[in-house]
Amino acid sequence: MEKKITVLPGDGIGPEVVTAAVEVLGAIAQKYDHQFHFAYGAIGGVAIDQYQDPLPQNTISLCEESDAILLGAVGGPKWDHNPADLRPEKGLLRIRKHFDLFSNLRPVQAIPSMLKSSPLKEDIVKDVDLLIVRELTGGLYFGERHRTENEALDSLTYTREEIERIVDNAFTLARLRRKKLTSVDKANVLDTSRLWRDIVDEKKAQYPDVEVEHSLVDSTAMKLITAPAEYDVIVTENMFGDILSDEASVITGSLGVLPSASMRADNFGLYEPVHGSAPEIAGKGIANPAATILSAAMMLQYSFGLLEEAKAIEDAVAAVYEKGFFTGDMAPKGVEALSTNDWTEKVLHEIEPAYVKEQTFI
Ligand SMILES: NC(=O)C1=CN([C@@H]2O[C@H](COP(=O)(O)OP(=O)(O)OC[C@H]3O[C@@H](n4cnc5c(N)ncnc54)[C@H](O)[C@@H]3O)[C@@H](O)[C@H]2O)C=CC1
Ligand SMILES: CC(C)CC(=O)C(=O)O
Ligand SMILES: [Mg+2]
């Protein structure tokens, strides 16, 4: 198979973790005889510095010509006081909107060898296998805004169409899994949530084989930590999904292992870790690349239909953890932490021992 992948490393640890994921895709290409062509573009803070725009037109054009996008992360203190439209995060929001990437899939699985990295008790996390389906192009992050010296407004709007398509998507995914859907909202307060809840109830009849429950976001935040194994698919709006998915990283022990896929209806997708640019560890070579490597596996699965290859990456990551190799964010007490580079080498070796690296690690 021949595919074009646009790579947007971004800021902070973005370039470090993306380099690792590109190497892993290189190893997969070699092992399974595929051709992946990588084109690099600027987004976020680096794009502001170079083009005075967090999402320049040449980056959009590159992405439009490609089959999928791999992204690191954006943001950092250097740009924190920029005006709203010149903030790195604006580039990320704009690319999601431009490509209509309305469905953000964030799986959370407890790999047995990771259990000791979780601060939660082993019997709470051991059977966790859940999928957060987060609406990604509506809600608060895209609402009308306004700011003066003494007043600020962020508005939360959802249309029926926006809710229907993400709810349909979540029901369909639940059908392919354990057939349980938890719709998370704040319907005791918000009208957008009441509309959301009504639409989930209307849709139920089309998916009679799926068990549905409604859950308020505040108590869901608690249950996600006390009983995470009870969840299968969680569907929720943009900001609630953003917050709950970072919270879910406590289950696996680090944000550094949670991948995500941001999908359009035709399976074009942008693949990125759940985490941000972690500026305090950037440039030290210690970031955990697992989340971005597993996001690349999601790319193979969801955009290219390469299921065996995706599984080869997931198995390699699990095997490296099983053998007791960890980066600093995950290493149990007394276990020496590996660098980003050395940990990635272990994954490459699991996939294809004969693979010769193409890139110089950053
Ligand atoms: N998708 C994106 O590009 C996102 C960007 N951001 C931006 O990132 C910057 C930092 O935000 P934070 O709130 O600190 O969130 P963050 O996700 O960057 O970091 C949170 C914590 O997790 C650790 N961490 C994250 N990824 C890691 C990895 N791969 N390996 C080891 N440790 C890791 C960090 O060191 C930090 O302690 C901000 O500018 C923020 O706007 C935040 C979230 C998402
Ligand atoms: C720009 C933010 C919404 C990024 C973020 O935190 C996320 O998508 O998880
Ligand atoms: Mg987030």
Q: Angle at which helices 340-351 and 14-32 pack, to 10 degrees?
A: 10
- Tell me which residues have their CB within 5 A of the ion that is ligand 3: 242
82 is in an annotated binding site: yes
Residue nearest to atom 8 of ligand 2 (CA): 242
Q: How far is CA 112 from CA 101, 122, 342, in A?
A: 32, 9, 22
Pairing label, strands 269-273, 259-263: antiparallel
Ligand 2 neighbour 141 (Cβ under 6 A): yes
Catalytic residue at 141?
yes
Catalytic residue at 246?
yes
Residue nearest to atom 6 of ligand 2 (CA): 242
Ligand 2 neighbour 92 (Cβ under 6 A): yes
296 is in an annotated binding site: no
d(CA 302, CA 271): 10
Active-site residue (options: 100, 154, 246, 315): 246
Residue 63 sits at the vertex; the CA angle it makes with 273 and 174, to the nearest 5 degrees, is 50
d(CA 96, CA 98): 6
Catalytic residue at 198?
no
The first and second tokens of residue 236, run together, are 């929720």
| Size (the chain), residues | 362
Question: pLDDT tens, position by position, for the chain (362 residues)?
Answer: 999 999 999 999 999 999 999 999 999 999 999 999 999 999 999 999 999 999 999 999 999 999 999 999 999 999 999 999 999 999 999 999 999 999 999 999 988 888 888 899 999 999 999 999 999 999 999 999 999 999 999 999 999 999 999 999 999 999 999 999 999 999 999 999 999 999 999 999 999 999 999 999 999 999 999 999 999 999 999 999 999 999 999 999 999 999 999 999 999 999 999 999 999 999 999 999 999 999 999 999 999 999 999 999 999 999 999 999 999 999 988 999 999 999 999 999 999 988 877 655 44
Catalytic residue at 168?
no
Q: How far is CA 300 from CA 29, 67, 233, 267, 352, in A?
A: 11, 11, 21, 11, 17
How many other CB atoms sit within 10 Å of the CB of residue 206?
10
Residues 6+ apart with CB under 8 A from 219: none
272 CA: nearest ligand 2 atom: 8
- What per-residue confidence (pLDDT) applies to 114? 81
Is 296 in contact with 317 (CB distance < 8 Å)? no
What is the arrangement of strands in the sheet containing 129-135, beginning at the earlier edge strand? 35-40, 2-10, 68-73, 269-273, 259-263, 103-109, 129-135, 233-236, 180-185, 211-216
Domains of the chain: 1-101+254-362 (3.40.718.10), 129-250 (3.40.50.2300)
Spatial CA neighbour of 256 closest among 338, 335, 334: 338
Instruction: Classify burial at 116, counting beta carbons within 10 Å of its beta carbon; exposed 0-12, middle 13-18, buried 19 or more.
Output: middle
178 is in an annotated binding site: no
